[in-house]
């Protein structure tokens, strides 16, 4: 990576707070759907926090409220103690990627970034810089419409980084990235947080972010079910003893009489006993005259804990088995917060009379993430052979390195379309007389 340093405009960035995110008693209802219910958590600078939950748990809605795109029904979501609308310089305080879509399909990657940089009052150099940061320099003159999903993710991240924000909020950032891309993102985000910034990333797959995050907030059915350190969650993993007794009912009674109450019946007459050793279970069984045909000790892995904490969002059933996907037989970890309100899933097909979609909701055209339209060349067109550019791996994030002037580029002839509200908050153009310290930019 060529040495780069941030343009002077970014040095004037107002450090208006600590970079702390605070969500307090946040609630959002869409008609009968309680998307977010009384959610509270904090995200501290210097850490990467995972915002985890199954599909429909309320993650995107929460992030949208944090970014001022959806008005909360109740509660507050603040950055540096302020709601998004009141941040003096939003694009320089928070950069966000909610969806890696919304690029002008014919605009090149570099010109896309230049448009956003100009809207934030930043020089073109910054566009080259962030493109290099995310490893897309080799594709700078390719149009975004030709990008793969993973490349779009990188371009969206580059857009979010334009303002060198103190806080980075990314919704499912690993979506579409190949293993190399995921490894790169992990290194990048860790380095970004290590430079004292705040990183909040959402995902519905714990394994996908487990190696990136230090802390995690787990939501299920719109409520917080865990808020704490990843290590604390790891330490709270309990072991259980799985036994195949000759008489499950008699052994359950004997265990209960011995003060061991966390006993769960599993299929085929097996029992899962939590907070007991193999020896204890064996001794109690012998005393009760129950034979054991198999005994096994097992420690819950993180994924099982995650499933257990979030089970019930959708009560699907395992094929050929009653009982769905809950993982029985492990206790709740420390940091577990019992959901307070029973969740009511609306009837399938329910539409809120007269108010769908609700005010503030920005409908994006649906695009299946993996279904790209096959490219149709115009009739008679002959594709000239082009040697593919070798892929350039981006280097880990380096906050303060000397700046290298950019290669001049061809400006777009077509005028850019206005930035979309969902992607870029309102922008105040910089005063014509001098350098801008108050220009407002947007998030990606």
CA distance 374 to 3: 39
Minimum CB distance to ligand ATP smaller for 323 or for 357: 357
Give min distance, CB of 44 to ligand ATP, in A: 22
CB neighbours (10 Å) of residue 135?
Answer: 22
Kindly report the CA angle at 234 between 98 and 264, in degrees rounded to 5? 105
What span, in angstroms and rounded, lies between the C-alpha atoms of 426 and 72? Answer: 20
Nearest-angstrom CA–CA distance, 117 and 126:
7
Shortest Å distance, C-beta 29 to ligand ATP? 9
Taking the least distance from each CB to ligand ATP, the nearer of 96 and 127 is: 96
Task: Give the nearer residue to ligand ATP in terms of CB position, either 39 or 122.
Answer: 39
**If we measure between CA atoms, which residue out of 179, 135, 141, 187 comes closest to residue 157?**
135
Indicate the residue among 25 and 355 with the shorter CB distance to ligand ATP. 355
CB of 374 to ligand ATP, least distance (A): 27
How far is it between the farthest Cα atoms of the chain?
Answer: 91
Q: Which residues bind ligand ATP (CB under 6 A)?
A: 30, 33, 35, 53, 55-61, 204, 357-358, 361
Is the separation of the CB atoms in 335 and 236 below 8 Å?
yes
Q: Put the strands of the sheet holding 270-274 in their side by side order.
A: 263-266, 270-274, 239-245, 292-299
Would you say 351 or 435 has its CB closer to ligand ATP? 351
To ligand ATP, the closest distance from the beta carbon of 444 in angstroms equals 17
H/E element holding 253?
helix 248-257
* Angle 289-293-297 from CA coordinates, rounded to 5°: 105
Of the pair 175, 236, the CB lying nearest ligand ATP is at 175
Instruction: State the minimum distance, in angstroms, from the CB of residue 59 to ligand ATP.
Output: 4
Smallest distance from ligand ATP to CB 167, Å: 19
Considering beta carbons, is residue 2 or 205 the nearer one to ligand ATP?
Answer: 205
The crossing angle, in degrees rounded to 10, of helices 124-133 and 149-161 is 130
Give the nearest distance from C-beta 259 to ligand ATP in angstroms. 40
For the record, the structure tokens of 405 come out as 């002037």
């Amino acid at each position: 990576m060529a040495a780069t340093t941030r343009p002077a405009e970014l040095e004037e960035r107002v450090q208006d707070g600590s970079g702390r995110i605070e969500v307090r008693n946040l609630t959002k209802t869409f008609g009968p759907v309680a998307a977010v219910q009384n959610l509270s958590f904090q995200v501290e600078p210097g850490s990467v926090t995972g915002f985890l939950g199954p599909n429909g748990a309320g993650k995107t809605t929460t992030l949208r409220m944090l970014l001022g795109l959806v008005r909360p029904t109740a509660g507050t979501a603040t950055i540096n103690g302020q709601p998004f609308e009141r941040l003096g310089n939003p694009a320089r305080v928070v950069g966000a990627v909610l969806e890696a879509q919304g690029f002008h399909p014919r605009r090149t990657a570099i010109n896309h970034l230049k448009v956003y940089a100009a809207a934030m009052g930043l020089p073109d150099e910054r566009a080259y810089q962030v493109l290099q940061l995310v490893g897309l320099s080799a594709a700078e003159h390719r149009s975004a419409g030709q990008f793969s999903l993973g490349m779009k993710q990188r371009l969206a991240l580059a857009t979010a980084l334009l303002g060198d924000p103190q806080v980075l909020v990314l919704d499912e950032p690993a979506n579409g990235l190949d293993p190399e891309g995921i490894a790169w993102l992990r290194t990048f985000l860790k380095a970004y947080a290590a430079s004292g910034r705040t990183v909040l990333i959402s995902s519905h797959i714990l394994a996908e972010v487990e190696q990136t995050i230090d802390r995690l907030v787990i939501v299920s059915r719109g409520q917080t079910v865990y808020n704490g350190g990843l290590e604390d969650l790891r330490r709270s993993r309990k072991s259980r003893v799985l036994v195949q007794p000759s008489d499950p009912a008699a052994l359950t009674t004997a265990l209960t009489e011995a003060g061991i109450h966390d006993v769960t019946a599993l299929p085929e007459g097996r029992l899962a006993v939590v907070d007991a050793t193999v020896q204890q279970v064996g001794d109690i069984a012998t005393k009760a005259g129950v034979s054991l045909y198999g005994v096994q000790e097992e420690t819950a892995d993180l994924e099982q804990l995650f499933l257990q904490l979030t089970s019930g969002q959708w009560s699907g059933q395992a094929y050929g088995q009653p009982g769905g996907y809950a993982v029985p037989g492990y206790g709740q970890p420390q940091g577990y917060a019992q959901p307070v309100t029973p969740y009511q899933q609306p009837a399938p097909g329910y539409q809120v009379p007269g108010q769908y979609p609700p005010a503030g909701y920005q409908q994006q055209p649906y695009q299946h993430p993996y279904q790209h339209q096959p490219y149709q060349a115009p009739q008679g067109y002959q594709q000239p052979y082009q040697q593919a550019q070798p892929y350039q791996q981006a280097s880990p994030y380096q906050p303060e390195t000397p700046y290298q002037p950019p290669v001049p580029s061809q400006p777009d002839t077509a005028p850019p379309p206005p930035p979309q509200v969902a992607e870029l908050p309102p922008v105040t153009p910089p005063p014509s007389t001098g350098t801008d310290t108050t220009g407002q930019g947007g998030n990606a």
